[in-house]
A and B are shown apart, each in its own frame.
Chain A
Amino acid sequence: MKKGTGKISIQKVIAVVMGAALLAGWIFTADRGIGSQEKKIYREAAEQQGLVDKMGFSGFRLEDYPVAMYDGKADYVFYQGKIEKRSPVLETFAGTAYPVGDHYEVIVPTLERFDGLLSLAGGVEGMVSGSGYGREEQIATIWHEGLHAWQMSHFQILGENLTPAEMEKELEQSGNENGDSEETLLVKELDQNAEQKKRMKKEMQLLKTAAEKKDIDGMKAAILEYREQQEKRQENMSAEALMAEKRCELTEGTAYYVEGNVLKALRGENVYRERYLDTLDVFEGGRGKFYRTGMAKCLILDRLEPDWKTGLDFTESLDELLYKAVESTL
């Protein structure tokens, strides 16, 4: 075998230089800060303000709330024209409105992370094909969470109002509670009860039918039939579960409604119909179904009482608003 002569050969020098050059190039070309895609998403989201204004939620402006995008390592906070990097507040990939200090913020994963998350949720097929979650969907999500931030900042939701600090404390302690969460309550009383589940499914079909009615009279008749069905079901629910249902429908239903309309503007009528309108009667587990029932009620209210959002103060449930609208026009 050849033994080394102790001299540094030219080949070794070239190898070291090559390695150093690769390393330097790799470091130098790394993303510094948030990517341009995320900046573009925020910009386009802000541009939808005019559209959202037309929906009628008075006083709701996205620019009032910091929007933080989490890339797995840091939060990049878009607010008042600036982007600030900070340690992540919520080290998890979830879209939410979250209390930070004395205010609420919109926190979303970056598009790449959200797509990855949803792909995982789609199983093997999702992982291979991707989730189909794109730029437009991300913008719609930002508006969804933005509405939550607005709700929590300005209103007592069905009588309950927590400051950001109180909400933060409640969230920290939520794992230590003895009582069931809203999700668990609804699963127990609706999803795991065959009879209640059957009633709920029928309700959702009736609600979808009502939302699709072209004529107002037909719509009202469908709502009354829906109400009858709903009362039968709700008789058998606990007060806590009922409150959970109303709160979820009110907050998430309206946010889902905003999200859907933003996506309609960005992706077109067909996608909106396929993803939101055609699925109004899809029975999802837990709280998920009330996103759809809430949106259906918003759509119906748009027909019965077009200005319903102007004075919306979240002290009444969507059912109360809906039945009032029906009765007032009978």
Chain B
Amino acid sequence: MGIMKNALLERMRRKDIYVVLVIGILIVMMCMSGAATLSIDGVPVTEFSMMMPMVLNVISVIGGGIAIALSLRTIPNEYERKTSHLVWIRGISQWKYHGQLALANIISSLGSLFILYAGVMVFAGIKGEYAVLAKCIPAFLLFSVSTAAVSLFTSAVSLVLPGMAAGVLAAALMLAGTMHPILETFSGIVSGVARQALRGILFLTPNLYAAESQAGRFLSGKSIQIHSILGGLLVLYICGMLLYLFRRKEA
């Protein structure tokens, strides 16, 4: 696991990620404070049970963006500065090499996500929702599946696509996956070519929203849908397979 540890060390010694995190935390705090008041049918949303799904929505999108930012350059940097040469000649397989780098990406992405998510825990504590607080950690495990998949997908495509293309593709997957229900609804409203295009997008992108929304259901005391969790894990598995299949010809 030396490669993974090294990659994590590099991340911690780099300053840019802290800037991204601070911005993310500020956005989350804004959503929870009166500065960004939302309402349903004209009634301001202040109750924890109403705020929580919204805050989780916001966190998942920001977390996905941070995951892409953290994962996009890790593997390409290794090849660009040729630190890969001295790894390859030591008999480390590409799968092991890329896998450990991708694992470092996932860990740092989930670490960032947890920092944002901690805002929900603080909010629950302030609102006296101690039952919810107790469920926060297992809920985070459910919540993190889709972010891990985004990170892994980004790592995989960064192997074979130029930076911009990989970033755009990962962002498109993340947004389409997180907004799956909205796109499904849109597909029912529009017609003709637009409908076919939307349905194509829906077919090709995984429903990341279904997986991460189980955290909200779990925290609210509703039953969780195993199918959605398995779907999220399946997406993670497929992204892992992509990482395995995508190979570099040269170090």
In the complex, A touching B (Cβ < 8 A): yes
A29 with B227: CB separation less than 8 A: yes
Tally of A-B residue pairs with Cβ under 8 A? Answer: 80
Is the Cβ of B182 less than 8 Å from the Cβ of A129?
Answer: no
- Pair B93/A2 contact, Cβ less than 8 Å: yes
Cβ distance B51 to chain A, nearest Cβ, rounded Å = 9
| CB-CB contacts below 8 Å: A9-31 with B | 18-19, 22-23, 25-26, 29-31
A30 to B227, CA, bound (A): 6
Report which residue of B54, B94, B188, B237 has the largest number of chain A beta carbons within 10 angstroms of its beta carbon: B188
> Which of these, A2, A18, A31, A116, contacts B185 with CB under 8 Å?
A116
Kindly state whether residue B76 has any CB partner on chain A within 8 Å. Answer: no
Given contacts A1-B88, A127-B182, A130-B40, contact A92 B230 (CB under 8 A): no
Q: Is A34 an interface residue (CB 8 A)?
A: no
Cα distance, A219 to B106, chains bound together (Å): 69
- Complex CA–CA separation, A258 to B188 (angstroms): 27
Cβ contacts under 8 Å, A19 to chain B? 237, 241
**Chain A residues near B181 (CB-CB < 8 A):** 112, 116
Shortest CB distance A129–B (Å):
4
Contacts of A93 in B (CB 8 A): 185, 188-189
B182 & A113 in contact (Cβ 8 Å cutoff): no
Selected from B41, B92, B186, B225, the residue in CB contact (under 8 A) with A120 is: B186
Say if the beta carbon of A179 comes within 8 Å of chain B.
Answer: no
Chain A residue with Cβ nearest B202 = A72
Min CB distance, A118 to chain B, in Å? 9
A116 to B186, alpha carbons, bound, how many Å? 9
- Contact of A117 with B185 at beta-carbon distance under 8 Å, contacts A1-B91, A23-B234 already known: yes
* B184 at interface, CB cutoff 8 A: yes
A25: chain B residues at CB < 8 Å are: 226, 230
Which residues 18-62 in B have Cβ within 8 Å of A in the complex?
38-41, 43, 45, 50, 53-54, 57-58
A92 touches B40 (CB 8 A): no
Measured between beta carbons, the chain B residues less than 8 angstroms from A112 are 181
Q: B57 to A125, Cβ gap below 8 A? A: no
Which listed residue, B41, B43, B50, B184, touches A116 by the CB 8 Å rule?
Answer: B184
Contacts of B189 in A (CB 8 A): 92-93, 117, 120
Distance in angstroms from A89 CB to nearest chain B CB is 13
CA distance A120 to B188 in the complex (A): 12
Chain B 163-202: CB-based contact to A (< 8 A → 1; otherwise 0): 0000000000000000001101111110100000000000
When chains A and B are docked, how far (Å) is the Cα of A18 from the Cα of B234? 10
* Residue from the list B92, B94, B184, B226 in contact with A29, Cβ < 8 A: B226
User: B188 touches which one: A31, A72, A130, A132 (CB < 8 A)?
Assistant: A72
B231 lies within 8 A of chain A by Cβ: yes
Q: For the complex, is B8 an interface residue (Cβ under 8 Å from A)?
A: no
Residues of B within 8 A of A119 (CB): 182, 185
Instruction: Tell me if A128 counts as interface (CB < 8 A to partner B).
Output: yes
Q: Tell whether A131 is near chain B: CB-to-CB under 8 Å.
A: yes
**Whose C-beta in chain B lies nearest to the C-beta of A125?**
B38
Q: Which A residues are closer than 8 A to B by beta carbons?
A: 1-2, 18-19, 22-23, 25-26, 29-31, 70, 72, 91-93, 109, 112-113, 116-117, 119-120, 125, 127-132, 274-275
